[in-house]
Amino acid sequence: MVREVLCDSGSLISLTSSCLDNALYFFAENAGLKFVIPPSVEYETVKRPMEGNIRKHLFSAIRIKDAIEDGVVVVVDAKVENEGKRIMDSANNMFYIKGKPIRLIQFGESEMLALAHELGVGTILLDERTARLLIEAPFRLKEHLEKEFNVNVMVNKNAYRELASRISSLSVIRSSELIMLAYEKGYFRNFVNLQEEALEAALYKMKFAGCAISFDEISQYMYKVG
Amino acid sequence: MIATAFKKRNQRRLRKLNDDVLRLTSQDCSQVNFNMAVFSYVLSKIVSKPRYLSVECGSAIKAMEKVLDRIVNRMDSATDEELLGLFDELEKSIGGLEQMDARFVTDLVTKGKMKMAATFYAQGISLGVSAEMTGLQKQEILEYAGETMMFDRLKEEKSIDERMKVARKLLTG
């Protein structure tokens, strides 16, 4: 059975920047996973760096393009403009500071959430922290905004309900969990006696590449593994 | 205030102004405020580097100060478009200063934008909005954010054990 996982650009970037994108192939072969991206993610991660000749990011772009050509990552287009706009409007009108709504997400991000809805994909590989918090714990995001800006943040309950009805059923996995799971399934087997060390190093590499995982989380997982 | 602080070579004041403008920018997403945030940061970096304040760089610094004066004079009456054009000129004059003693692949203004974008992201604004506001690649912002403690400062709702249970069930079930 093929299971689809929708990916955001951040997770693909974390994986390619850390040279761990082979984990996508590993799961495609061993667990029948199909990694799906919308055209906007392909544009951000492949076309824009390649067409703009952005040297620093060319190699990541080529690796993702290769995965697309190999059919491990599949670009899926769907008409989700209206749904994407609804999600974006709800998210961007949910929290208010001093009477003004805070713009939290942009269309590319809401488009991905809308695509999940449209395709009936329940699992998202998502490294981007704000969108993840909107799905998993919007009030944690509110507390965070209050702490950062040192003000009270007001909640528009209608927008909150509207957003929750559309995205709260989604399950989010970060690229770090994908690599942890890959380790459990033998992805690091070639490292023989250094498998645990390789996993830990890989997780730190991903963290430094921008994957939203904390040092504590890495330590906790490594403690369980060790 | 930013121009005055720069002329007084007051780095601490420039950083304080940067904090203030940045907080405002995250809330109103204004491009003019965003540029003020970036340039207050960049000017503070210039003030902190003795090599930029040497006699050899004097003409480049003067050119920058002239653009800064024009921005100050036009701030209340100019359209956003005109102000953004003046910020472009300021960026060019800073580029001229850097070319006199180039040391890094990434220029000062891009570094400033990266820092601002990573700060927006840390504050709770999404990566996409941060990239859109700064015109940077998400990858650049992620790399910068990855070098900070931003992911350690916010306690996660779910523990790593819970996350792994979900991942195991969903991906390999």
CB contact under 8 A, A210 and B141: yes
Please state, in angstroms and rounded to a whole number, the distance separating the CA atoms of residues B41 and B44: 5
Q: Do B171 and A33 touch (CB under 8 A)?
A: yes
Q: What's the mean pLDDT in A23-39?
A: 94
A145: chain B residues, CB-CB within 8 Å: 123-124
pLDDT band at B74 (very low <50, low <70, confident <90, very high): confident
More confident residue, A48 or B107: A48
Domain around B36: 2-172
B104–A contact, CB cutoff 8 A: no
pLDDT band at B66 (very low <50, low <70, confident <90, very high): confident
B102 has a chain A CB within 8 A of its CB = no
Q: Kindly give the pairing relationship between strand A3-7 and strand A33-37.
A: parallel
Chain B residues whose beta carbon lies within 8 Å of the beta carbon of residue A28: none
**Residues of chain A neighbouring B143 (CB-CB closer than 8 A):** 17, 208-210
The band of B98, judged by pLDDT with boundaries at 50, 70 and 90, is confident
- When divided into structural domains, chain B yields a total of 1
Q: Which of B147, B7, B156 is nearest to B69 (CA)?
A: B7
| CB contact (8 A) between residue B171 and residue A129 | no
**What value does the mean pLDDT take over residues B21-30?**
74
Radius of gyration of chain A measured on its C-alpha atoms:
18
Q: Which residue of chain A has the CA closest to B160?
A: A217
Residue A21 one-letter amino acid: D
Q: What confidence tens digit (pLDDT) does each residue in A181-222 have? A: 999 999 999 999 999 999 999 999 999 998 989 999 999 999
pLDDT class of B5 with cuts at 50, 70, 90: confident
- Return the higher-pLDDT residue of B95 and A21: A21
Does B112 have pLDDT greater than 80? yes
* Buried b / exposed e along A143-158 (16+ C-beta atoms within 10 A): ebbeebbeeebeeeee
Helix (H) or strand (E) holding A162: helix A157-167
B117-122 average pLDDT score: 90
What letter would DSSP give residue A72? S
Contacts (Cβ under 8 Å, ≥6 apart) of A93: A101, A156, A159
* Interchain contact, B128 vs A105, CB within 8 Å: yes
Structure tokens at B104: 């890094």
Q: Is the model's pLDDT at B153 over the cut of 70?
A: yes
Contact B154 A174 (CB under 8 A): no
Q: Which residues of A touch B145 (CB under 8 A)?
A: 210
Question: A87 φ, ψ to 5°?
Answer: -65, -45
Higher model confidence: residue B78 or residue A88?
A: A88
Packed helices A9-17 and A55-69: angle between N→C axes, nearest 10 degrees? 110
B171 in A contact zone (CB under 8 Å): yes
Give the containing element (helix H, strand E) for A214.
none
pTM across the whole model: 0.87
Indicate the range of A66-70, A146-150, A191-195, B68-72 predicted with least confidence: B68-72
The pLDDT, as a whole number, for residue A164 is 94
pLDDT at A63: 95
Closest CB to A214: pick one of B121, B138, B152: B152
Q: Is the pLDDT score of A1 beyond 70?
A: no
B121 touching chain A per CB within 8 A: yes
Chain B: closest CA distance from residue A72 (Å)? 15
